[in-house]
Amino acid sequence: MSWSKMKQQLESFLSPALAGRFEYRATSYRYSPDKAGQCYITVDKKNVLNMSDQTTSIRWYQSELEIKNDPDIQIPITNEEIDTIRRETNGKVPEDRLLVMARGRKISVIAKELLSAQSALSKSNFVVVANKFLSSSIEDSMESSDILLNILALVDRRIGKKRILSMSEPIKLKHPSVQYFYEMRRSAL
């Protein structure tokens, strides 16, 4: 599918509240076959998410330690996770330390997932992911671990106000770029 046709299809799914603010763009190099070009998303005429450049306005993590030390990441810990650690340590660990241990374990898992998704995005081809989005259900795109699929679903008109408002907790566990687009969509309601 040509870029112009794909862009037209993606924009037909765009939420009316974001019309004029959100735009898909691509560059290509006609006379340089070794350069594939770039795809990026602009919001209010600013390049917000560039698929191959880490100098965008969204925070990109370089290491697991950066994710662990980021105060903006809020990790909800369930009682089941605390009970699991309590059982593993045979109750020898103080209660306040159990929460710290549970948070540490969970953030390690999330950090690895974030870094994996982030590296997949910087290597991925926007066109391939966009085709996948156009051919799959909106629920599959929202539940995916792919950052770009999440973003495309968040700006989709098929996601209504009630669903956007109910997503606030699960979005906290997503990459900062997904959180950025969630906040943008929520503020446009």
Each residue's pLDDT tens digit, 132-168: 999 999 999 998 888 889 999 999 999 999 999 999 8
Neighbours of 70 (CB within 10 A): 14
Residues 4 and 26: their CA atoms lie apart, in Å, by 10
DSSP string, 130-150: HHHHHHS-HHHHHHSS-HHHH
Is 19 part of any domain?
Answer: yes
pLDDT in tens, 25-39: 877 666 655 555 677
User: Is residue 48, in this structure, part of any structural domain at all?
Assistant: yes
Question: What is 65-79 written as a DSSP string?
Answer: HHHHH-TT------H
Nearest to 74 by CA among 163, 171, 148: 171
Q: Parallel, antiparallel, or unpaired for β 46-50 and 38-43?
A: antiparallel
In a domain, 17, yes or no: yes
In a domain, 44, yes or no: yes
Question: What does the CA dihedral 175, 4, 139, 58 come to, rounded to 10 degrees?
Answer: 10
Q: Are the C-beta atoms of 148 and 24 separated by less than 8 Å?
A: no
Residue 90, judged by CB atoms within 10 A of its CB (0-12, 13-18, 19+), counts as exposed
Residue 31: inside a domain, yes or no?
A: yes
Q: Which residues contact 24 (CB under 8 A, 6 or more apart)?
A: 7, 10, 11, 39, 41
pLDDT given for residue 163 in this prediction = 92
Q: How many domains does the chain have?
A: 1
> Does any domain span residue 143?
yes
The answer to whether residue 88 is domain-embedded is: no
- Position 9 in a domain: yes
More confident position, 75 or 13 = 13
DSSP designation for 54: S
Q: Domain of 50?
A: 3-63+116-188
